[in-house]
Each structure stands twice: as structure tokens, then as C-alpha cells.
Structure 1
Amino acid sequence: MKSSHFIYLLIILVFGGFLISAKLSAQERPPNIILIMVDDLGVETIGTYGGTSYSTPFIDAMAAQGAKFEYAFAQPLCTPSRVQLMTGQYNVRNYKVFGQLDRNQITFANLLKDAGYKTAIAGKWQLGKEKDSPQHFGFEESCLWQHMLGATDKNGNDTRYSNPVLEINGVPKHFDGGQFSTDITSDFLIDFMERNQNQPFFAYYPMIITHCPFVPTPDSKDWDPTSPGSPTYKGDAQYFGDMVAYMDKTVGKIIAKVDEMGLSEETIIIFTGDNGTDQPVVSMYRGNEYPGGKKFTTENGIHVPLVVKWDNKIAPGTQSDDLIDFSDFLPTIIEVAGVQAPKSLPLDGVSFLPQLLGKKGKPKDWIYSWYSRNGDMENLQEFAFNNEYKLYSTGEYFNIQEDWLEGTPLNYKDLDKEGKRSFKSLNKALEKFEDIR
């Protein structure tokens, strides 16, 4: 064989092997993960769940194209929910105080980063004021409000929406050119995804919106690009609908970018809210008025949407009535990534990936909650519930299907067989955590 022919054949074999290897690597590459969590957004705000007060076409389309969970529950307030979501543990194990995450904890970002994922977070932090807090908990890049700085400027104006003050990788920046924080944070994550589209990435978006102050968005008729921020904490609730619409539009923007990059089959997108809608917002939900219940342990304080999209993996229109709580997100996310949690990590959550893929999975019989805003025992509210009943550690017992605002406690002696069976089951759930609390 002539040497030139030999070299040509060698080049073909090497290049062909490279293509095969590249193809196999692409097939074996772990999926990208995008987790979007809206601030103060209850289930009643979303059209696909039966809410009729607001426009949410992009989230409704996500549910139609993917999966929707009917019974997903957070904690009643932001920091407790964030701690549970990121660590996969009930607050009884690791919640210390409002506004902080114990630096001894391991988060889903730590686990994914250690497994080779590129990681980023944008939005609301409120988990520790140390400059390196996001990086310490696994996020290589960050664009955050209320990281090291407070919530207002020297004049008492809120800094989270119009012309916001954000911290980019721990460096404060005052945006004063008529920007809106939802645009800045979403653009930050989109830039991160574009730069890392050739490798697995995890983008966590705990959105600043729709938390009060309720203010105009850039799509509102009376949007003022020169506004220094709301001078009051609550703002004006008439703008809540505008904020929901802008949130939904931003979710659509992120989905569109994933599609544009050709990654819709390689990317799972998870959408939820961190707790119930704030007061004084009242929405129409399945034909009835539904008041916001943030900070309360009743349904309107903890029932949140959970919608998941993953093209060619999740069958369109998948629905589940299984109980899901925020401890389940970490196990689900790491199973998607093919990552094993350390055996020393005491996870309370159960992965709901099987249900996303049309399998039975391991549905929960009950959800447990240990809720204390400041981590103190004096204000503790501890309870367990299933689809029909809720039992508090105080002994108060409610039929939450018939009495979802929990106005009339049940008397055990008056219960039917199913009521007594549920009482015993929920009491065992509470007893399971007695040695921890």
C-alpha cells in the first residue's frame, strides 16, 4: 500500500472514530436542568389549574406539552421553602433562622457542580450575607437581589424591581437606566446557558417577581422607567395581575431560548412557586374567590403549581395527583442528572422523576411540615396531611377537602372509619420526627 493511501485511510479511521465518540458522548450527556421558582405565587394564579384572574399562556402551554402535578406543596414562607427545596430535608432537620442557610448544608447545586455541571443562580437569594454564599452552596455564577445588601436604599425605596440594586458574583451594581430586575436576571441566565450549551448546565431561577411591592412592569400602561422603586413595602395590589403576566412572559422567554439553541430534548424545565400568594390579593379560582394565604399553614399558604417540561421524555398532558413537597426536588433533580447523594445525607424527599416518565414511582401517603419563621419553638407549627385530612402536633384535626381554611377542628369520636384511619396514619408521621425536633 502506498504511504499516501495509508495516511488517508488512517485519517478516515481516526476522524470516523471521533465522530462516533462524539455522537456517543452527546447521547450520554446528562440533561440540562432549569428550575424556575416564582416568589409568592399560589396555585390559584395559573390558568391550567383553574385560575381565571390572570393570563398565563406560556405556563399553561408548558403543562399541555409536559406534566402537571395537582398536589404540590411548599412551606408558607420564602426562606423555609428555599432551605427545604435546596437540601431535600424537612426544616426540622436544618432550619436555623430566617434569611440564612446553615453553611454546613449540602445543596442540589453542590451535588451537580461536583458531578461536572456548570451552575448559576439568578433572582432572590436571602440565604446568607457572606460574599461567597452562592459559591459556597454550589453556584459558580450569580446575579442576586438581597444577597449581602438590604431591601431598600438610603431613601427607603425598594430596590428589587425598577432600576434595581443587584449583586453580580458578589459585586453590587445599581442599574439606573430604566431596567427591570426580571429582565436583568433572566438575561443573565440566558447568557449563562448560551455560553455553556455544549456541556450540562443547571440554571436555578428563584424569581424576584411576584413578591410585593406590587408595581407596574415594563408592559404596564403606567410603567415609569425613572422610578427609584416603591416607597412602600406592599405597593398597590392592582398591579399584581401585570406582574403575573410579566412573570409568565419571562418563563416563555426562557423556553424560547432553549428551543432556539436546539436543546429542548436535552433540557428539563421545572416551574413552581415558593409559597402562597400574598395578601391582600384575592383571585378567582375554579369559580370561587380565593384569598392569598402567604405565611399561613392553610392550603392557600402552601399549595403551589408544579409544571415540568422535557420534550420527547415527558408525554404531553401528563397529570399526577400524587403528593409532592419541596423536599422532593433535590432527589428528583439529582436522579435526572444521574448523580448519587452521599449516604450520609439524610434526605426526606422522594424523586418524582418516575411519575414524569409515566411510571408509578413511590407516591407519598402524607406530607410532613415543621414551620417556624425564625426557627424558634414558641411559634412552631408542625403538621402532617394527606389529600383529605390534616393533623397538627397540637391535636387539631381538619378535613381539608371540606374545610380548607381550617375553621372547624374535628372531634375524633365523631369521625368515620376513614377519618380515624387517616388520623392514626398522620399521627405516626408526626411521631416519626419526634426524636429530631
Structure 2
Amino acid sequence: MRLGREHHLGFHQRHVMLLLIAATLIVWNRPASSSVAAEKNQRPNIVLIMADDMGYECVGANGSKFYSTPNLDRLAAEGMRFEHCYSQPICTPSRVQIMTGRYNSRNYVRFGLLHPNEITFANVLKDAGYKTCIAGKWQLEGGFKGPNKFGFDEYCLWQLTRRPCRYPNPGVEVNGKTLDYTDGEYGPDIVSDYLVDFIQRHKDETFLAYYPMILPHWPFQPTPDSDDWDPTETKEWPRKKWNRKHFKDMVAYTDKMVGKIDQALKTAGVRENTLLIFTCDNGTYEMIKSPFQGRDYKGGKGTTPNAGTHVPMIASWPGTIQPGTVSQDLIDFSDLLPTLAEAAGASSKIPQDRTIDGRSFLPQLKGNEGNPRDWVFCWYERNGKREGNNVKRYARNQTYKLYHDGRFYNVPADELEKRNLKPGEIDTETKAVRQELRAVLDKLVAEESEYSYGKVPKKK
């Protein structure tokens, strides 16, 4: 019996060894794509969409009854909607801040320019192995190689080296080539088609797609879905023809393009492994008045009150973000770089040789408390000038806003900032908030001396 038992154990051990060898061979011979897939399941694809000149009041999920945004409303219902996201007051400052994770006081040098010494979220994710693409509006100079320098493998852009028509029969630059369309094509369709193609080509890899939209920036004119669309148009409409009807059509087409990208992710089979974030670069153009919350809400683009900087933000990540979540956390545009980097497992790639002002809100997206902000900060001078009294600086929370010159407002009660709160009107709790915001301003204003770019060459 003893010999039989030893014989049985020997067979068992040999059987286990054979199984281990077979398993090892399977691992050794596993296709590379399986390893990529395993890694990809841990690192999401990322799609960041930023509309142009479309304030908080333009989205149905935020309470609009005037604009049609069914795709955005659905994404909000399926994901997370932020009620306190704040941009810069105008396009280039917002683009610089969102891409670099740094306040404009540190790196904004001139309208229409991203300084070549800056590092973007695309650089960070590309260094981490992501395939990267930008499609839409550039407006940051740098020539044909500019997008590549800032981390994008591919691009399809309007306003890279020139400023032709952007809507009917547009002109764009695609990976170093200039293309002009003459058969009734529509600019937003051209750039979004490129993005859809990028998603399809890289569905088996991990990718970043950045879509700084052309829409719904002026000139306000018909879209292909408007009843007065004219595909033979070759020029932008003059200001005297701009109107709210066509702005409304353009907001609807913005929403349509968001739905198009969302559907492309589903068609490619990658939607559940994709974090999609939608926001806007600044408030609505000032001539547009929108029915909102029982009043006419005047656009505030280029100004620092709420209408100029309060923008929509929606995040969708099926299976990760709890559907129907509404966040009251403060978000500013510097937060996108660290958030995308953390989502991509690339926080170690964030540059250490400069101050990054953003704070990741990835934990909140995953349903955790995270480390939410107590304040957001704005430094704004349209042309980057640092001398004189034109620079506007403020810090704020969800309720109170303090400018560096001492003006202090209760924003929900005074969105137009008409009534500066006087010391006698401030209770103990509010006084403590004011002191906290003053400390933030004093610190960040003192750090403006770190600005090191000096005189910037004039635009060619």
C-alpha cells in the first residue's frame, strides 16, 4: 500500500508540473494584443470635448428650456453633471489653462499663443503610451508642427496657420497639409469625421481625443440642419446678420456632434472603457440673450462675472461614474491635466520643473470624496499684459467672490456684481470666507514674480 501511495503522489506531482508548464507556454505565446487589452482595461480612453462660446445656460440638463441638447442631457443623466465649473473669460486663456494645468498668471503671454515652453496633457499622455489626436479649433500658433510639439500624434484643425471660413466650405490643416473644401461641406462635420476615423483606427489601443469644437462661436449662420442652410456659402456672415435663431441652431448642432462622437465610441466597442468629458471655453457671446430660469440671461464672454466664466461640465464613464450624479464641487480648467493624467495612470509623467495648479477630481468621478477645492482662481488680461491696471484677479467659492482690489460679492444673489458687500453687511462666517479668499489671492499674486517668459516675440 505504501508503494502505491508514493506512486500516486508522483503522478499527481507530474500532472501539476505539466499544467504549470502549459500555463507558462500559454502566457509566453499570448498575442501582444492581449497584453495591450489587459493594460487598456486598466487605463481608459479619454475624450475631452470643449465647445466654443457656450455658457452654462445653454444646456437642458442645467435647466435650459430654450436650447435643444438631448445628447448632453442624456450623458448627464447617465453620468455626472458639475454645477460649479469655471473657465477663463475668453478662448485663448482657457485653452492655455486647460491644456497646461497652470493658471494664466504663470504662462499666458499673448492672445492666440501657447508658449512653446509649455507642456500639455497630450504630452503627458503620449509619454505614457497613449495615441493622441486633436480635431477642431487650434488658435495657439506654432505652425504645422505646433500640435505635434504639444503632444498630438495627429490633427485636423481650423485656425492653425490661417483663418479661412470655418463653417460652409471651410479651410483646414490636416497633419501638415492645407485642405480647402468647395462642395458644400461643413467645417464641424469635417473635423468630427476625422475624430470618428481616429477612434475607429485606434479602437484596439489606448487613446486621447481632444475636440476643441468650432461651434457655436460666431458668425451665427445656418447649419446643415437649418431651414435656410446654403451650401454654396463661402464667407462668414457679417455681424449685422448674426441672430439668436442661428445661435440656437448652432447649439443644437454642437449637441449633435457630441452625440456623433459618443456613437462612434459605441460603434468601436470602447464606450465603457472611455471617460468622456464635455465643457466649454467661456460664456456665451454678449449679444445673445437666452431665456433661463425665468429671465433673459445675457451672455458674458470676455467678462469676469458669472456669465463669462460659469460653464457646463458633464462627465460620462459607463460602469464607473454613478448615473445621475450632480456634483457641487468646484472645478477650474487647471484641474483637467492632473485628472486626465491620473485616469491614465500617468501622474508620474506630470512635469516637476514647474508649478501645476490643478487638482485631480478623478476620485469624485469614481464616487469617492476626493480632495475637492475650497476656491478657484482667475487671472485675466486678454492680451497677456502685466503692466498697468487691466489685470483682473479674483478667488471664489460656490457663493462668494473676492477681487484683488477688494470688491466682494455674494454671487448667487448678485450675478452681475452690482453690489459690493460692505464690511457692516458681512457676518462672522462670511468674514472668515473673505479672509480665506484674501490669503489665496495674496499668495498667488506674490507668485506672479515667478513668471519667466519675459518679452514675447510679436505675432508673425
- The TM tier, using the shorter chain, reads over 0.9
Aligned counterpart, 1:155: none
Give the C-alpha shift of residue 283 in structure 1. Answer: 1.0
* Gapped regions of structure 1 (runs ≥ 5): 1-8, 153-158
Question: Per-residue displacement from partner, 1:379-425 (whole Å, max 9, x unpaired)?
Answer: 21111111111111111111111001101111123311122111101
SS in 2 for 1:384: strand
Give the C-alpha shift of residue 345 in structure 1. Answer: 3.3
C-alpha separation between the residues in 2 aligned to 1:173 and 1:413?
62
Give the C-alpha shift of residue 32 in structure 1. Answer: 0.7
Give the C-alpha shift of residue 23 in structure 1. Answer: 4.8
Aligned counterpart, 2:438: 427
Matched, 1:343 2:352: yes
Matched, 1:262 2:275: no
C-alpha separation between the residues in 2 aligned to 1:385 and 1:12?
58
Query: Is contact 2:154–2:175 with CA below 8 Å preserved after alignment?
Result: yes
* Gapped regions of structure 2 (runs ≥ 5): 1-19, 449-460
2:287 to 280, 289, 294: 280
Query: Is contact 2:119–2:351 with CA below 8 Å preserved after alignment?
Result: no
* Greater Cα shift, 50-59 or 404-413: 404-413
SS in 1 for 2:50: strand
Give the C-alpha shift of residue 330 in structure 1. Answer: 0.3
SS in 1 for 2:224: coil
Aligned counterpart, 2:47: 34
C-alpha separation between the residues in 2 aligned to 1:109 and 1:90?
18
C-alpha separation between the residues in 1 aligned to 2:384 and 2:34?
50
* TM-score between both structures, scaled by the size of structure 2: 0.89
2:170 to 151, 161, 164: 164
Give the C-alpha shift of residue 27 in structure 1. Answer: 3.1
* TM-score between both structures, scaled by the size of structure 1: 0.93
C-alpha separation between the residues in 2 aligned to 1:335 and 1:254?
23
C-alpha separation between the residues in 2 aligned to 1:295 and 1:51?
22
Pairwise mapping of residues 12-411 of structure 1 onto structure 2 (< 5 A)?
14-15=25-26, 18-19=29-30, 23=34, 25-29=36-40, 30-150=43-163, 152=164, 159-233=165-239, 235-237=241-243, 238-339=245-346, 340=348, 341-377=350-386, 378=388, 379-411=390-422
C-alpha separation between the residues in 2 aligned to 1:374 and 1:165?
26
Larger Rg: 2
Query: Is contact 1:123–1:206 with CA below 8 Å preserved after alignment?
Result: yes
Residue 234 to residue 149, structure 1, CA distance change in 2 (3 Å): farther
Query: In angstroms, what is the RMSD of aligned CA positions?
Result: 1.8
C-alpha separation between the residues in 1 aligned to 2:32 and 2:223?
48
C-alpha separation between the residues in 1 aligned to 2:309 and 2:29?
51
Percentage identity across paired residues of the two chains: 48
Question: Per-residue displacement from partner, 1:336-374 (whole Å, max 9, x unpaired)?
Answer: 000021322311010011111111111111111100100
C-alpha separation between the residues in 1 aligned to 2:234 and 2:272?
41
C-alpha separation between the residues in 2 aligned to 1:171 and 1:25?
32
Query: Is contact 2:170–2:181 with CA below 8 Å preserved after alignment?
Result: yes
Question: Per-residue displacement from partner, 1:27-58 (whole Å, max 9, x unpaired)?
Answer: 32221110000000101000000011110000
C-alpha separation between the residues in 2 aligned to 1:102 and 1:32?
27
SS in 2 for 1:269: strand
Give the C-alpha shift of residue 10 in structure 1. Answer: 8.8
Q: Which amino acid aligns with 2:207?
A: F
Give the aligned length: 422
Q: Which amino acid aligns with 2:222?
A: P
